Structure 1
Amino acid sequence: MTDATVTYLFDPLCGWCYGATPMLDRLAANGVALELVPTGLFSGAGPRPLDAGFAAYAWDNDQRIARLSGQRFTQAYLDNVLNVSDTLLDSSSATLGIVAAGLDEPGRRLPALSAIQHARYVDGRDIVTVDGVAAVLADAGMDDAANMVKAPTDALMLSHRDLVGRGRALFQRLNANGVPALAVVRKTAPRLIGANPLFGSYDNLVAHIAAA
């Protein structure tokens, strides 16, 4: 479809990124060179406890995402994630798990992201702690990544630092105003595609990528 690399900027705790996953799956299935790069949006600045006000705001926003994308946000997620007072908004462990999954095979970042998102938004599972992320990855058949998350190697930590740093730098360079975001990278400067095409028709998204 295109000779460019399509870079996807995301955070695993971003509900809109969860809503965009079906489009990413279609791009990957159609042979698009897709690279997932986390931005560390909800990591690195210290964990933020979820309170009742934020939970209500998030749930309302999630219902809008569900209507636009068809993705499910279940009662289990509401009860076991949003309405649990000591839950943190911290994507550090989830991001590390995605980097671990793709350490030797970058193509595994998308399946790892999908598994982590499904665990949170559908099953209502913990993806904030190291043990929670490791359990999700193990259940997805990524035992190697699960073990690395629990005992990070120097190579994993270096790759994590480099990848998140690259995501943040690209985010700033493109003057992106949030995630999810796509950047089409050719031989010249990367071109930003905003989030809106990720929530329309697939053909429209393809047209935006081709035109960038």
Structure 2
Amino acid sequence: MTDTTVTYLFDPLCGWCYGSTPMLDRLAASGVTLELLPTGLFSGSGARPMDEGFAAHAWANDQRIERLSGQVFSQAYLDNVLNVRGTLLDSSAATLGVSAAGLDDPRLRLAALKAIQRARYVDGRDIVTVDGVAQVLADAGMADTAAAVKAPTDEVLAAHRELVGRGRGLFQRLHANGVPSLAVIRNDAPRLISSNALFGSYENLVAHLQAA
């Protein structure tokens, strides 16, 4: 598996993506090269108000994700994120943060994503505004990335657009029906791995990747 590159399609505000983090960590620890590509699913036209109905739907899903993955969805998240009206489900700033973190070293995208996810789902912090994301990244020791989020240069914005564009393009090419999605690319041909493999045993996930 050490010669395998796995592409991971995600959105920072996707609870199932947060739930798949333990499997990503195990893959990275085993020597698999992970390429993280954001799809922008909940940004731009995909953003939506955090109303009561959506909050209830999200919390029900989150409880299922917690049972399957062991990832914590805290009371602080319920109180300070889901139950706060007048906010948006908008991943624009968080996605920019992940892109900016990997500008010089793509491996840092995972660290930035994990910091952002933990801030939301465990600490109940704001990750839908530029200031909120910048503070989370600064607290995680990524001061340069935080500054890039608050005042992005043309280089950062161009790299961000290119990364999301690649993510959306691959998502469409795979005919994926949601995130998280995994792909193994061999001979320029991407092969979609069922997202269910991220929520079973690690051995089952490895078997899926080896068979792709």
1:156 paired with 2:172, answer: no
1:32 paired with 2:46, answer: no
SS at match of 1:106: coil
Report the Cα offset of residue 20 of structure 1. 0.2
Report the Cα distance in structure 2 between the residues aligned to 1:124 and 1:30, rounded to whole angstroms: 31
Q: 2:120 — aligned with what?
A: 120
Q: 1:197 — aligned with what?
A: 197
Pick closer, same or farther for the CA change 1:2–1:187 going to 2, 3 Å: farther
Q: Give the alignment of 1:37-48 within 5 angstroms.
A: 37-45=37-45, 47-48=47-48
Q: Give the alignment of 1:96-135 within 5 angstroms.
A: 96-135=96-135
Letter aligned with residue 135 of structure 2 = A
Q: 2:66 — aligned with what?
A: 66
Report the Cα offset of residue 2 of structure 1. 4.7
Report the Cα offset of residue 3 of structure 1. 2.5
SS at match of 1:86: coil
Report the Cα offset of residue 46 of structure 1. 6.0
1:8 paired with 2:23, answer: no
TM-score when normalising by structure 1: 0.98
Q: 1:76 — aligned with what?
A: 76
Answer yes or no: is the 8 Å Cα contact 1:99–1:109 preserved in 2. Answer: yes
SS at match of 2:169: helix
Report the Cα offset of residue 48 of structure 1. 1.5
Dislocated runs of 4+, deviation >3 Å? none
Name structure 1 gaps, 5 residues minimum. none
Pick closer, same or farther for the CA change 1:33–1:86 going to 2, 3 Å: same
Letter aligned with residue 211 of structure 1 = A
Report the Cα offset of residue 47 of structure 1. 3.6
Q: 1:208 — aligned with what?
A: 208
Report the Cα distance in structure 2 between the residues aligned to 1:71 and 1:5, rounded to whole angstroms: 25
Report the Cα distance in structure 1 between the residues aligned to 2:192 and 2:62, rounded to whole angstroms: 24
CA shift digits 1:126-176 (9 cap, x unpaired): 000000000000011000000000000111100110110110010010010
Report the Cα offset of residue 4 of structure 1. 3.1
Q: 1:170 — aligned with what?
A: 170
Report the Cα offset of residue 125 of structure 1. 0.1
Report the Cα distance in structure 2 between the residues aligned to 1:115 and 1:188, rounded to whole angstroms: 32
Q: 1:145 — aligned with what?
A: 145
Letter aligned with residue 6 of structure 2 = V
Report the Cα distance in structure 1 between the residues aligned to 2:9 and 2:106, rounded to whole angstroms: 14
Report the Cα distance in structure 2 between the residues aligned to 1:186 and 1:111, rounded to whole angstroms: 26
SS at match of 1:6: strand
Pick closer, same or farther for the CA change 1:197–1:47 going to 2, 3 Å: closer
User: How many residues are matched?
Assistant: 212
Pick closer, same or farther for the CA change 1:150–1:71 going to 2, 3 Å: same
Report the Cα distance in structure 1 between the residues aligned to 2:175 and 2:75, rounded to whole angstroms: 36
Report the Cα offset of residue 61 of structure 1. 0.6
Letter aligned with residue 207 of structure 2 = A
